Amino acid sequence: QKEVEQNSGPLSVPEGAIASLNCTYSDRGSQSFFWYRQYSGKSPELIMSIYSNGDKEDGRFTAQLNKASQYVSLLIRDSQPSDSATYLCAAHGGSWGKLQFGAGTQVVVTP
Amino acid sequence: EAGVAQSPRYKIIEKRQSVAFWCNPISGHATLYWYQQILGQGPKLLIQFQNNGVVDDSQLPKDRFSAERLKGVDSTLKIQPAKLEDSAVYLCASSVLQGAANYGYTFGSGTRLTVV
Protein backbone atom coordinates (compact mmCIF):
# COMPACT_ATOMS: atom_id res chain seq x y z
CA GLN A 1 0.00 0.00 0.00
CA LYS A 2 1.32 3.41 -0.97
CA GLU A 3 1.74 5.72 1.98
CA VAL A 4 0.39 8.78 0.18
CA GLU A 5 -2.12 8.35 -2.62
CA GLN A 6 -3.38 10.80 -5.19
CA ASN A 7 -5.40 10.53 -8.36
CA SER A 8 -2.95 10.86 -11.22
CA GLY A 9 -5.32 12.81 -13.46
CA PRO A 10 -5.15 14.65 -15.68
CA LEU A 11 -7.72 16.88 -14.06
CA SER A 12 -9.09 19.19 -16.72
CA VAL A 13 -10.48 22.46 -15.34
CA PRO A 14 -11.96 25.38 -17.30
CA GLU A 15 -10.31 28.72 -16.71
CA GLY A 16 -11.95 30.52 -13.80
CA ALA A 17 -13.34 27.34 -12.24
CA ILE A 18 -12.33 25.60 -9.02
CA ALA A 19 -9.83 22.73 -9.17
CA SER A 20 -10.25 20.17 -6.39
CA LEU A 21 -7.37 17.82 -5.61
CA ASN A 22 -7.50 14.98 -3.13
CA CYS A 23 -4.91 13.03 -1.19
CA THR A 24 -5.07 10.24 1.39
CA TYR A 25 -2.32 9.00 3.65
CA SER A 26 -1.82 5.78 5.57
CA ASP A 27 0.48 6.79 8.45
CA ARG A 28 -1.68 8.00 11.34
CA GLY A 29 1.46 9.42 12.95
CA SER A 30 1.78 12.00 10.18
CA GLN A 31 1.64 15.48 11.63
CA SER A 32 2.29 17.93 8.82
CA PHE A 33 1.06 18.03 5.28
CA PHE A 34 2.21 19.91 2.24
CA TRP A 35 1.20 20.67 -1.29
CA TYR A 36 3.91 21.20 -3.87
CA ARG A 37 3.45 22.43 -7.41
CA GLN A 38 5.75 21.05 -10.08
CA TYR A 39 5.89 22.47 -13.57
CA SER A 40 7.15 20.17 -16.29
CA GLY A 41 10.93 19.91 -16.16
CA LYS A 42 11.15 21.92 -12.93
CA SER A 43 11.63 21.02 -9.30
CA PRO A 44 8.76 20.98 -6.78
CA GLU A 45 7.76 24.31 -5.25
CA LEU A 46 6.06 24.48 -1.85
CA ILE A 47 2.70 26.25 -2.10
CA MET A 48 0.77 25.22 1.03
CA SER A 49 1.34 23.64 4.40
CA ILE A 50 -1.26 22.54 6.92
CA TYR A 51 -0.81 21.14 10.40
CA SER A 52 -4.21 21.05 12.08
CA ASN A 53 -7.68 19.92 11.13
CA GLY A 54 -9.75 22.36 9.16
CA ASP A 55 -9.11 24.79 6.36
CA LYS A 56 -6.19 27.03 5.61
CA GLU A 57 -6.45 29.69 2.95
CA ASP A 58 -3.65 31.47 1.10
CA GLY A 59 -4.72 33.59 -1.82
CA ARG A 60 -6.49 31.40 -4.36
CA PHE A 61 -5.40 28.22 -2.58
CA THR A 62 -7.23 26.47 0.25
CA ALA A 63 -5.87 23.37 1.95
CA GLN A 64 -8.15 21.14 3.98
CA LEU A 65 -7.09 18.52 6.50
CA ASN A 66 -9.13 15.79 8.18
CA LYS A 67 -6.86 13.64 10.32
CA ALA A 68 -9.65 11.29 11.38
CA SER A 69 -10.27 10.41 7.74
CA GLN A 70 -6.57 10.70 6.84
CA TYR A 71 -7.50 13.03 4.06
CA VAL A 72 -5.94 16.19 2.68
CA SER A 73 -7.26 18.31 -0.15
CA LEU A 74 -6.31 21.39 -2.12
CA LEU A 75 -8.72 23.78 -3.78
CA ILE A 76 -7.55 26.21 -6.42
CA ARG A 77 -10.09 28.96 -6.99
CA ASP A 78 -10.32 31.03 -10.18
CA SER A 79 -7.99 28.59 -11.96
CA GLN A 80 -5.59 30.16 -14.43
CA PRO A 81 -3.63 28.58 -17.30
CA SER A 82 -0.50 29.21 -15.21
CA ASP A 83 -1.90 26.75 -12.64
CA SER A 84 -1.40 23.92 -15.14
CA ALA A 85 1.14 21.70 -13.41
CA THR A 86 1.47 18.55 -11.36
CA TYR A 87 0.49 18.94 -7.71
CA LEU A 88 2.27 16.73 -5.21
CA CYS A 89 0.83 15.92 -1.81
CA ALA A 90 3.33 15.14 0.95
CA ALA A 91 2.96 13.93 4.51
CA HIS A 92 5.48 14.26 7.31
CA GLY A 93 5.70 11.91 10.23
CA GLY A 94 8.25 11.39 12.94
CA SER A 95 10.86 13.66 14.37
CA TRP A 96 13.38 13.64 11.55
CA GLY A 97 11.29 15.38 8.94
CA LYS A 98 11.02 12.67 6.32
CA LEU A 99 8.39 13.57 3.74
CA GLN A 100 6.45 10.92 1.88
CA PHE A 101 5.21 12.13 -1.49
CA GLY A 102 2.30 11.00 -3.57
CA ALA A 103 2.73 10.45 -7.29
CA GLY A 104 1.04 13.76 -8.06
CA THR A 105 -2.10 14.94 -9.84
CA GLN A 106 -1.71 16.65 -13.19
CA VAL A 107 -3.94 19.69 -13.56
CA VAL A 108 -4.69 21.17 -16.96
CA VAL A 109 -6.49 24.51 -17.03
CA THR A 110 -8.16 25.11 -20.37
CA PRO A 111 -8.87 28.65 -21.63
CA GLU B 1 18.20 34.06 0.83
CA ALA B 2 20.08 31.91 -1.66
CA GLY B 3 18.36 28.68 -2.59
CA VAL B 4 19.60 25.11 -2.71
CA ALA B 5 22.32 24.82 -5.32
CA GLN B 6 22.81 21.66 -7.36
CA SER B 7 25.14 20.69 -10.16
CA PRO B 8 25.29 19.57 -12.84
CA ARG B 9 21.83 20.28 -14.29
CA TYR B 10 22.05 17.48 -16.83
CA LYS B 11 24.18 14.39 -17.21
CA ILE B 12 24.20 11.64 -19.80
CA ILE B 13 26.31 8.57 -19.12
CA GLU B 14 26.55 5.02 -20.35
CA LYS B 15 25.47 2.15 -18.14
CA ARG B 16 28.16 0.87 -15.81
CA GLN B 17 29.81 4.30 -15.70
CA SER B 18 29.97 6.35 -12.53
CA VAL B 19 28.48 9.78 -11.84
CA ALA B 20 28.43 12.25 -8.97
CA PHE B 21 26.04 15.01 -8.05
CA TRP B 22 26.71 17.97 -5.79
CA CYS B 23 24.42 19.91 -3.49
CA ASN B 24 24.87 23.02 -1.38
CA PRO B 25 21.90 23.60 0.98
CA ILE B 26 20.48 26.85 2.23
CA SER B 27 22.78 28.38 4.82
CA GLY B 28 21.89 27.25 8.32
CA HIS B 29 19.75 24.30 7.22
CA ALA B 30 20.95 21.35 9.23
CA THR B 31 18.89 18.75 7.39
CA LEU B 32 19.69 17.73 3.83
CA TYR B 33 17.83 15.22 1.68
CA TRP B 34 18.48 13.50 -1.60
CA TYR B 35 15.40 12.41 -3.50
CA GLN B 36 15.06 10.43 -6.71
CA GLN B 37 12.17 11.30 -9.00
CA ILE B 38 11.46 8.94 -11.86
CA LEU B 39 9.31 10.35 -14.66
CA GLY B 40 5.63 10.23 -13.72
CA GLN B 41 6.29 9.43 -10.08
CA GLY B 42 6.61 11.41 -6.89
CA PRO B 43 10.01 12.02 -5.30
CA LYS B 44 11.40 9.10 -3.31
CA LEU B 45 13.77 9.71 -0.42
CA LEU B 46 17.20 8.17 -0.91
CA ILE B 47 19.06 9.54 2.08
CA GLN B 48 18.62 12.12 4.82
CA PHE B 49 21.41 13.86 6.72
CA GLN B 50 21.17 15.74 10.00
CA ASN B 51 24.30 17.87 10.04
CA ASN B 52 26.88 15.36 8.77
CA GLY B 53 25.22 12.24 10.15
CA VAL B 54 22.88 9.91 8.27
CA VAL B 55 19.43 9.56 9.86
CA ASP B 56 17.68 7.61 7.10
CA ASP B 57 19.16 5.70 4.18
CA SER B 58 16.70 2.83 4.15
CA GLN B 59 15.84 3.27 0.46
CA LEU B 60 19.35 3.93 -0.79
CA PRO B 61 20.63 1.10 -3.04
CA LYS B 62 23.84 0.81 -1.12
CA ASP B 63 25.48 -1.60 -3.55
CA ARG B 64 25.73 1.22 -6.09
CA PHE B 65 24.77 4.50 -4.42
CA SER B 66 26.77 6.39 -1.83
CA ALA B 67 26.45 9.82 -0.29
CA GLU B 68 28.40 11.96 2.07
CA ARG B 69 28.03 15.31 3.73
CA LEU B 70 31.35 16.52 4.96
CA LYS B 71 31.43 19.27 7.58
CA GLY B 72 27.63 19.29 7.67
CA VAL B 73 27.25 21.57 4.65
CA ASP B 74 27.76 20.40 1.04
CA SER B 75 26.78 16.91 -0.01
CA THR B 76 27.73 14.58 -2.82
CA LEU B 77 25.66 11.67 -4.16
CA LYS B 78 27.47 9.07 -6.23
CA ILE B 79 26.27 6.22 -8.40
CA GLN B 80 28.72 3.49 -9.38
CA PRO B 81 28.04 1.60 -11.58
CA ALA B 82 24.96 3.19 -13.11
CA LYS B 83 22.06 1.16 -14.46
CA LEU B 84 19.44 2.12 -17.01
CA GLU B 85 16.80 2.31 -14.26
CA ASP B 86 18.78 5.05 -12.52
CA SER B 87 17.59 7.48 -15.17
CA ALA B 88 15.73 10.07 -13.13
CA VAL B 89 15.92 13.54 -11.68
CA TYR B 90 17.94 13.71 -8.50
CA LEU B 91 16.66 16.39 -6.19
CA CYS B 92 18.43 17.84 -3.21
CA ALA B 93 16.42 19.59 -0.53
CA SER B 94 17.12 21.19 2.80
CA SER B 95 15.01 22.17 5.75
CA VAL B 96 15.00 23.57 9.22
CA LEU B 97 13.57 21.25 11.81
CA GLN B 98 11.98 22.51 14.97
CA GLY B 99 10.86 19.89 17.40
CA ALA B 100 8.73 17.35 15.61
CA ALA B 101 7.46 19.79 13.02
CA ASN B 102 8.76 20.15 9.52
CA TYR B 103 8.15 23.47 7.91
CA GLY B 104 8.61 22.21 4.42
CA TYR B 105 11.49 21.65 2.12
CA THR B 106 13.18 23.87 -0.37
CA PHE B 107 14.29 21.88 -3.38
CA GLY B 108 17.20 22.59 -5.63
CA SER B 109 16.76 22.67 -9.40
CA GLY B 110 17.71 19.00 -9.66
CA THR B 111 20.06 16.98 -11.84
CA ARG B 112 18.50 15.11 -14.72
CA LEU B 113 20.42 11.88 -15.25
CA THR B 114 20.04 9.82 -18.41
CA VAL B 115 21.72 6.44 -18.51
CA VAL B 116 22.06 4.97 -22.00
pLDDT digits (tens, 9 = 90+) for B56-86: 899 999 999 999 998 889 999 999 999 999 9
How many beta carbons lie within 10 A of that of residue B98, not counting itself? 9
Q: What is the pLDDT of residue B100?
A: 44
Hey, are the CB atoms on A99 and B107 less than 8 Å from each other? no
pLDDT > 70: what percent of chain A? Answer: 95
- Position B75 scores a pLDDT of 97
| pLDDT confidence of residue A1 | 59
- A62-71, A93-102, B99-108: segment of lowest average pLDDT: B99-108
Nearest CA in chain A to B50: A96
> What residues of A are in contact with residue B100 (Cβ under 8 Å)?
31, 94-95
Strand partners for A23? A6, A72
No. of H helices and E strands in chain A? Answer: 0, 11
pLDDT at A31: 86
The answer to whether the bond into A14 is cis (omega within 30° of 0) is: no
Instruction: Report the residue count for chain B.
Output: 116
pLDDT at B72: 81
Closest chain A C-alpha to B41 CA, distance in angstroms: 5
**Cα B26 to Cα B93: distance, rounded to the nearest angstrom:** 9
pLDDT of amino acid A9: 86
d(C-alpha B37, C-alpha A57), whole Å? 29
Q: How confident is the model at residue A68 (pLDDT cuts 50, 70, 90)?
A: very high
Distance from C-alpha of A52 to C-alpha of B61, rounded to nearest angstrom = 35
Interface test with B, best of A7, A43, A88 (most B CBs within 10 A): A43
Interior/surface letters A19-31, b for 16+ CB within 10 angstroms, e for the rest:
bebbbbbeeeebb
- Look at residue A16 in the predicted model and tell me its pLDDT: 97
Q: What is the pLDDT of residue A95?
A: 57
Burial B32-59 (b: 16+ CB within 10 A, else e): bbbbbbeeeebbebbbbbbeeeebbbee
pLDDT computed for residue B63 by the predictor: 96
The phi, psi pair for B81, rounded to 5°, reads -90, 150
Residues of chain B with pLDDT under 70: 1, 97-102
* B95–A104 C-beta distance less than 8 A: no
Chain B partners of A102 at a C-beta cutoff of 8 Å? 42
pLDDT of A67 above 70: yes
| pLDDT classification of A58: cutoffs 50, 70, 90 | very high
Q: What is the pLDDT of residue B60?
A: 96
